[in-house]
Amino acid sequence: MFKSRWIAPVAIGVILIASQALAADKKVIAVSIPAADHGWTAGVVYHAQAAAKEVNTAFPDVEVVVKTSPSAAAQVSALEDLSAGRKLDALVILPYSSEELTTPVKAVKDAGTFITVVDRGLSDASIQDLYLAGDNIAVGRNTAKYLIEKLGGKGNLVVLRGIPTVIDDERIQGFNDAIKETELKVLDIQYANWNSDEAFKLMQDYLAKYPQIDAVWANDDDMLLGVLEAVKESGRKDIKLALGGNGMKDIVKKVMDGDAMTPVETPYPPAMIKTAIYMTIANLVGQAPVRGTVKLDAPLITQENAKEYYFPDSPF
């Protein structure tokens, strides 16, 4: 008994020293993201894992650890696990919800960790060192600008909205502000909750109600898929353009292939998680200044540049 009692603490001590030495050798970046509960978050998981692989290969002194969580509560636990027994040099987080994650992320920051927040902000912006998100106003504005040009500044539109949120409001605001001085007329605008089936039904309603529709804007690609199906089934020839938004690979592929009805796309790319990871690395490895707010633009994806936005192996 005496002997085994004596050995055990020594063994634990050795293990602790070994793991501390390992931690001291490598800078650890934890990436905490929602699990793949729909297409966009599946894209986030794909790009986070790709970034981890690239960065871990490129920088032997850095270890990127990706952890996905199926709920806000699970993400809170994940943060505790990730930071237990070691100091995280940086945390890149796409919070499941602002309210529940704010206090746990603050605890990680208070331990001396660099905090990068992606897409959904925390309730207290002073916690983040770097905040990176897409530009939903630009998604709407750039789509509208393209329609104005292609339709010569006049025509009948129908629009499909998503789930009532700030994201949806901003996309619609960008769109409406851009068309307000033109003769483009929005015949109808209803919610279809970013859902393909609901969008299919709503588009059938629009087709039944309006005999002349020049273009459709579904402010998200899941809805665009439903719209395209309804238009196809109707056999209607008046609809010249049907556009979406987000950068889903099926839609980017259409753009790449020169599709007549969907010749352009606007990104709100899940790959932004990758940009956030690379910027955080630039700070950790190269002391590059990155503190601040980065709003990624939503440039028009065209046949010329579509390749840059196409990830054939991504689920999204």
Per CB under 8 A, residues contacting a copy of itself are 47, 50-51, 54, 58-59, 135, 267, 269, 271-272, 274-275, 278-279, 281-283, 285-297, 299, 308-309, 311
CB 48 within 8 A of CB 277: yes
Measured from the CB atom, is 92 or 199 closer to a copy of itself?
92
Q: What is the DSSP letter of 171?
A: H
**Which amino acid, residue 139?**
V
Measured from the CB atom, is 235 or 289 closer to a copy of itself?
289
Measured from the CB atom, is 101 or 272 closer to a copy of itself?
272
| Among 69, 77, 82, 68, residue whose Cα is nearest residue 115 | 82
What residues have CB less than 8 Å from 90, skipping those under 6 apart?
Answer: 27, 28, 29, 30, 113, 114, 115, 116, 280, 283, 284
- Residue 150 corresponds to which tokens in the numbers above? 């292609």
Q: In the bound complex, what is the minimum distance in angstroms from residue 156's beta carbon to a copy of itself?
A: 30
Measured from the CB atom, is 30 or 298 closer to a copy of itself?
298
Helix (H) or strand (E) holding 6: helix 2-25
Q: In the bound complex, what is the minimum distance in angstroms from residue 7's beta carbon to a copy of itself?
A: 41
- Residue 46 corresponds to which tokens in the numbers above? 């794909």
Q: In the bound complex, what is the minimum distance in angstroms from residue 58's beta carbon to a copy of itself?
A: 4
**d(C-alpha 301, C-alpha 103), whole Å:** 38
Note the Cα 139 to chain centre separation in Å. Answer: 13
Measured from the CB atom, is 18 or 125 closer to a copy of itself?
125
Q: In the bound complex, what is the minimum distance in angstroms from residue 152's beta carbon to a copy of itself?
A: 22
What residues have CB less than 8 Å from 66, skipping those under 6 apart?
Answer: 31, 33, 45, 48, 49, 52
Measured from the CB atom, is 205 or 308 closer to a copy of itself?
308
Q: In the bound complex, what is the minimum distance in angstroms from residue 270's beta carbon to a copy of itself?
A: 9
**Which amino acid, residue 11?**
A
- Going from the C-alpha of 66 to that of each of 76, 101, 110, 158, the distances in angstroms are 14, 17, 21, 41
Q: In the bound complex, what is the minimum distance in angstroms from residue 239's beta carbon to a copy of itself?
A: 30
